[in-house]
Amino acid sequence: MNKILITGANGQIGTELTVALRERYGSNQVIGSDIKRPVANHDHTFQVLDVLNKTAIQALVQDEGITEIYHLAASLSAVAEKQPLRAWELNMQGLLNVLDTAKIDQLKVFWPSSIAVFGDHAPKAFCSQHTITQPRTVYGISKAAGENWCRYYYDNYGVDVRSIRYPGLISHTAQPGGGTTDYAVEIFHQAIKNRQYTCYLKPHTTLPMMYMADAVRATLELMEAPSLGLTVRTSYNVAAMSFSPGELEAAIRKHLPAFRADYRPDFRQTIADSWPTGINDHQARHDWSWMPRYDLPDMVNDMLVRLRQEKDLR
């Protein structure tokens, strides 16, 4: 039976992925871990775990009989640019510690990459699976290197490691952790509370995005796909929708007519400008039948309904 360890489980993705994995495999089969205990945590299986401590990872894997690791702990794009070497250490050494543990115990691993692996020389509008990856951010550099390490561990040690290049993710449960696409979550909170939002990207900056429900489902589907059909052992492109801050503002205004956004670009504009505007996910659709369910209007509608219910926002 699967026994799963999630690293970085308190983050934007981990919060929802933990719930989904527990629904699938049972609460006692899924251990959430993070460097810090969450403020209000009643989860008796939660473990404090620093992914930079390889001995601690290996001890936990042995003690709990772990068979799969979902390795989410990382420094995201905007935070990473402020402390590049710290981000490099966390993103790279953390991954190598997990891969090396998986090699010893023949564990299955999920590790997320990002659209940040692409750079100025990759196609902008419909960015292909196999193309030039020359990222200009430390985050992108760490993801591109990580993808190659994943394939190396698969090729040389038989580690069944699977990966997705997530686009910007939009969710209503946990706050985003310092990425370039965080605006697409913040805008909802501000639209409901204040009917006003100041965006740090220009209004026409189109980026690939995905609703968290689709991202979690993609993760589970890739991990459950038969190994034989998987042709990509670096990381799969996946796509759902692309939009700009101006288009998101207009889509929210259909529900909240008084809402207005203004635009004051900061350093994150340069990061966004180096990323593609759209993703070609043909290979994921072919290899493991990936198909998104949420487009922009569906996502906006669901976000507004759920934020009003869960956060008691009006």
Rule CB under 6 A: which residues touch ligand NAD?
A: 7-8, 10-14, 34-36, 49-52, 72-74, 76, 90, 112, 114, 166, 168-169, 176-179, 181
CB distance 137 to 290 below 8 Å: no
Q: Return all residues near 117 (Cβ < 8 A) that are at least 6 apart.
A: 133, 135, 140, 143, 144, 147, 165, 235
Output the smallest distance, CB 228 to ligand NAD, in A: 26
Is 139 a catalytic site residue? yes
Residue among 169 and 252 whose Cβ is closer to ligand NAD: 169
Output the smallest distance, CB 65 to ligand NAD, in A: 21
Residue among 30 and 49 whose Cβ is closer to ligand NAD: 49
Distance between CA atoms of residues 189 and 196, nearest Å = 10
Residue among 74 and 252 whose Cβ is closer to ligand NAD: 74
Residue among 195 and 311 whose Cβ is closer to ligand NAD: 311
Number of Cβ within 10 Å of residue 65's Cβ equals: 9
Token pair 């503002």 in the structure block, residue: 249
Q: Which helix (H) or strand (E) holds 261?
A: strand 260-263
φ/ψ of 225, rounded to 5, equals -70, 145
Alpha-helix runs per DSSP H in the chain:
12-25, 54-64, 77-82, 84-88, 94-105, 138-157, 183-194, 212-224, 245-253, 268-273, 282-288, 296-310
Output the smallest distance, CB 2 to ligand NAD, in A: 20
Q: Which of 139, 166, 197, 263 is catalytic?
A: 139
Output the smallest distance, CB 112 to ligand NAD, in A: 4
Residue among 253 and 274 whose Cβ is closer to ligand NAD: 274
Six-digit token pair at 228?
A: 């034989």
Distance between CA atoms of residues 284 and 209, nearest Å = 16
Output the smallest distance, CB 145 to ligand NAD, in A: 13
Q: Which residues have a catalytic role annotated?
A: 139
